[in-house]
């Protein structure tokens, strides 16, 4: 079996393929205000355990995997309802807003739960810590296909060893890897090209 792809890599890829490669291929990571806030939120759910809330068993930090899709990861929370319903909840900092990169992570968790427990997962939720609100996400066919396609794309990227080009857009402003990535320099034509070309010229 090929190495499993971390579920977190799907979120990184959906945000920016270069960010995914820097983290999962180059093992580069830097914190900024956004990652620090995210870590603070995950401290609420990073200790494995469970509790019963209104008859619902709530598991924290549940390990996940899928042999079929080659995925591995962890769910912040999974609710086990008495009627058999499984309901994953992913914690995010910030206010309630739709984000495909969050939804794809949740859908990957749903596919793992279905395979592990043999029961369908129709929906889950993103819990937005700043607004203390949940955003329910149906696990649609389109999201499921996106999980499969994204996992394949990440596996191909990791096998190639090639770093994707920078997106060099508004996403870079919130990216903790900005200084490592240097999106403007790498993407810009003109003055930087010559310097980049000479950077590794042993005759210089
Ligand atoms: S700085 Fe921009 S291009 Fe570079 S990894 Fe971050 S989002 Fe992607």
pLDDT band at 44 (very low <50, low <70, confident <90, very high): confident
Q: Is the pLDDT of residue 135 over 90?
A: yes
Q: 101 CB under 6 A from ligand 1?
A: no
SS (H, E, C) the chain: CCCCEEHHHHHHHHHCHHHHHHHHCCCCCCCCHHHHHHHHHHCCCCCCEEEEECCEEEEEEEEEEECCCCEEEEEEEEEECCCCCEEEEEEECCCCCCCHHHHHHHHHHHHHHHHHHCCCCCEEEEEECCCCEEEEEECCHHHHHHHHHHHHHHHHHHHHCCCCCCCCCHHHHHCCCHHHHCHHHHHCCCHHHHHHHHHCCCCC
Q: 20 CB under 6 A from ligand 1?
A: no
Q: Is the pLDDT of residue 1 over 60?
A: no
pLDDT of res. 191: 63
Q: What is the mean pLDDT of residues 175-182?
A: 92
- Residue found by looking up tokens 């200790």 in the block: 47
Kindly provide the b/e burial profile for residues 171-201, where b requires at least 16 CB atoms within 10 angstroms of the residue's own CB: bbeebbbbeebbbeeeeeeeeeeeeeeeeee
Q: 89 CB under 6 A from ligand 1?
A: no
pLDDT band at 202 (very low <50, low <70, confident <90, very high): low
Kindly provide the b/e burial profile for residues 100-127, where b requires at least 16 CB atoms within 10 angstroms of the residue's own CB: ebbbbbbbbbbbbbbeeeeeebeebbbb
pLDDT band at 31 (very low <50, low <70, confident <90, very high): confident
pLDDT of res. 65: 97
Q: 177 CB under 6 A from ligand 1?
A: yes
Q: Is the pLDDT of residue 152 over 80?
A: yes
pLDDT of res. 198: 67
pLDDT of res. 19: 96
Measured from the Cα of 176, ligand 1's closest atom is 6
Probe ligand 1: pick from 9, 11, 19, 157, max atoms within 8 Å of CB? 19
pTM given for the model: 0.87
pLDDT of res. 201: 61
Q: 183 CB under 6 A from ligand 1?
A: yes
pLDDT band at 204 (very low <50, low <70, confident <90, very high): low
pLDDT of res. 99: 86
pLDDT of res. 131: 87
pLDDT of res. 91: 92
pLDDT in tens, 64-108: 999 999 999 999 999 999 999 999 999 988 766 778 999 999 999
pLDDT of res. 173: 92
pLDDT of res. 180: 93
């Amino acid at each position: 079996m090929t190495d499993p792809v971390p579920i977190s890599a799907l979120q990184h890829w959906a945000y920016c393929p270069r960010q995914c490669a820097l983290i999962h291929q180059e093992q580069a990571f830097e914190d900024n205000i956004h990652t620090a806030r995210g870590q603070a939120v995950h401290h609420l759910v990073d200790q494995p355990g469970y509790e019963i809330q209104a008859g619902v068993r709530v598991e924290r930090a549940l390990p996940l995997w899928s042999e079929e899709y080659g995925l591995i990861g962890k769910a912040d929370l999974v609710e086990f309802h008495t009627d058999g319903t499984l309901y994953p909840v992913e914690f995010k900092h910030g206010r309630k807003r739709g984000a495909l990169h969050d939804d794809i992570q949740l859908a990957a968790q749903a596919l793992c739960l279905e395979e592990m427990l043999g029961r369908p997962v129709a929906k889950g939720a993103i819990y937005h810590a700043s607004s203390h609100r949940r955003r329910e996400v149906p696990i649609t066919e389109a999201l499921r296909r996106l999980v499969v396609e994204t996992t394949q794309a990440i596996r191909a990227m990791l096998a190639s060893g090639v770093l994707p080009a920078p997106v060099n857009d508004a996403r870079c402003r919130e990216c903790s890897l900005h200084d490592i990535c240097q999106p403007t320099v790498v993407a810009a034509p003109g003055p930087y090209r010559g310097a980049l070309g000479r950077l590794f010229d042993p005759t210089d």
